[in-house]
């Protein structure tokens, strides 16, 4: 679906010193390589200015790469921008493609003409989105009067009316309240699993990734730091997992080889144990623990995704320092 090889994009930035104007070349995307297969759902994350949006703009044909190879749906986006536009859907969380002063429905009608969708297909797709996203009440309201959550659902519907095989979302949940976010995620997850639409989304909200994307790509300073299933990345950068046990009676932490007791709480009622996932499984550990102490409750805690990403950055910084 997407094939990216050594993709680079530079910008000339003007820096003025007094009256003199100098141009400095900034590399926003610096040799990025990845593939996305049809039907995948990929999260593309990184801090502000990491190169996420620039990559998205190159994938959608808005910007032309400085160098490197890039195909989306078998097409070179910068050369066949309009052909590609018919086959992909794009949602920018921070800008609208709807007609501000017109009822939401009018925007959908216009998009039908723009993308040359038959009336029948349009009807069917619109009805489906309206139902799943709960847009019935909003169709006749001018876009400028919609809430952000309603507008975002409208934007996503707008991007799907021509049945794209790939949906690219740039910060789709930005600024939404929890309920709206959840609704959107549910819809997108369904779109991916049931209809097989490929998803590529950038986000700052790591819950989006956890919920939607089996695969995570982390980018910083224009380079891909990590690419893989969320679980694997977690295992790689945080090899330790944590087991939290609540005892029936206060007491010392159970002593199991290969396990470190990090801290205890509530006067010895709760203990935090860490273990390396390469050496032991949670099941083995639990069997050993319940043999020693009487356990009231226990939970295996996975490291937070934020921690994973922070560690990936740190690892990259360390590597750079060694070079």
Chain residues binding another protein by CB under 8 A are: 9, 12, 57, 60-66, 78, 81-83, 85-86, 90, 92, 94-97, 99-102, 106, 109-110, 113-116, 142
State the nearest-atom distance from the C-beta of 175 to another protein, in Å: 16
For another protein, give the closer residue by CB, 46 or 164: 164
Helix/strand/coil for 56: helix
Q: Helices 305-322 and 230-237 sit at what angle, rounded to 10 degrees?
A: 60
State the nearest-atom distance from the C-beta of 142 to another protein, in Å: 7
Which segments of 191-229 does DSSP mark as H helices, in order?
206-212
Q: Helices 178-190 and 119-133 sit at what angle, rounded to 10 degrees?
A: 140
For another protein, give the closer residue by CB, 101 or 297: 101
Count other C-beta atoms under 10 Å from residue 131's C-beta: 10
The whole-angstrom separation of Cα 87 and Cα 75 is 10
Phi-psi region of 171 (alpha: psi -120 to 50; beta: other; left: phi over 0): left
State the nearest-atom distance from the C-beta of 125 to another protein, in Å: 17
State the nearest-atom distance from the C-beta of 51 to another protein, in Å: 14
For another protein, give the closer residue by CB, 170 or 220: 170
For another protein, give the closer residue by CB, 123 or 310: 123
For another protein, give the closer residue by CB, 34 or 115: 115
Per the CB < 8 A criterion, the answer to whether 152 and 93 are in contact is yes
| N-term to C-term CA, the chain | 35
Which segments of the chain does DSSP mark as H helices, in order?
52-59, 81-85, 104-114, 119-133, 148-160, 178-190, 206-212, 230-237, 282-292, 305-322
State the nearest-atom distance from the C-beta of 96 to another protein, in Å: 8
For another protein, give the closer residue by CB, 122 or 270: 122
Compute CA 218 distance to the chain's CA centroid, rounded to the nearest angstrom: 10
For another protein, give the closer residue by CB, 144 or 276: 144
State the nearest-atom distance from the C-beta of 191 to another protein, in Å: 19
State the nearest-atom distance from the C-beta of 29 to another protein, in Å: 11
């Amino acid at each position: 679906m997407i094939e990216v090889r050594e993709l680079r994009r530079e910008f000339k930035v003007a820096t003025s010193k007094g009256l003199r104007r100098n141009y400095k070349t900034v590399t926003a995307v610096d040799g990025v390589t990845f593939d996305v297969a049809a039907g995948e759902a990929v999260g593309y994350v990184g801090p502000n200015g990491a190169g996420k949006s620039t990559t998205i703009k190159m994938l959608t044909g808005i910007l032309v790469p400085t160098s490197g190879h890039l195909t989306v749906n078998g097409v070179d986006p910068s050369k066949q921008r309009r052909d590609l536009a018919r086959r992909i859907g794009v949602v920018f969380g921070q800008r609208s493609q709807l007609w501000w002063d017109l009822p939401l429905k009018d925007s959908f009608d216009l998009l039908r003409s723009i993308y040359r969708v038959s009336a029948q297909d349009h009807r069917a797709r619109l009805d489906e989105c309206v139902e799943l996203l709960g847009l019935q009440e909003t169709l006749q309201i001018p876009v400028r009067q919609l809430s952000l959550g309603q507008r975002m659902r409208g934007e996503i519907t707008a991007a799907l009316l021509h049945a794209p095989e790939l949906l690219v979302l740039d910060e789709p949940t930005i600024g939404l309240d929890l309920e709206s976010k959840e609704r959107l995620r549910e819809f997108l997850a369904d779109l991916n699993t049931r209809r097989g639409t490929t998803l590529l989304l950038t986000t700052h909200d790591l819950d989006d990734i956890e919920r939607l994307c089996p695969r995570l790509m982390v980018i910083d300073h224009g380079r891909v730091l990590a690419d893989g299933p969320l679980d694997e990345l977690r295992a790689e950068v945080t090899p330790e997992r944590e087991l939290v046990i609540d005892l029936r009676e206060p007491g010392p932490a159970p002593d199991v080889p290969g396990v470190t007791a990090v801290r205890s709480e509530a006067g010895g009622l709760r203990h935090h144990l860490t273990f390396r996932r390469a050496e032991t499984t949670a099941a083995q550990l639990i069997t050993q623990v319940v043999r020693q102490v009487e356990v009231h409750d226990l939970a295996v805690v996975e490291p937070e995704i934020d921690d994973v990403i922070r560690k990936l950055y740190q690892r990259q910084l360390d590597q750079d320092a060694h070079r």
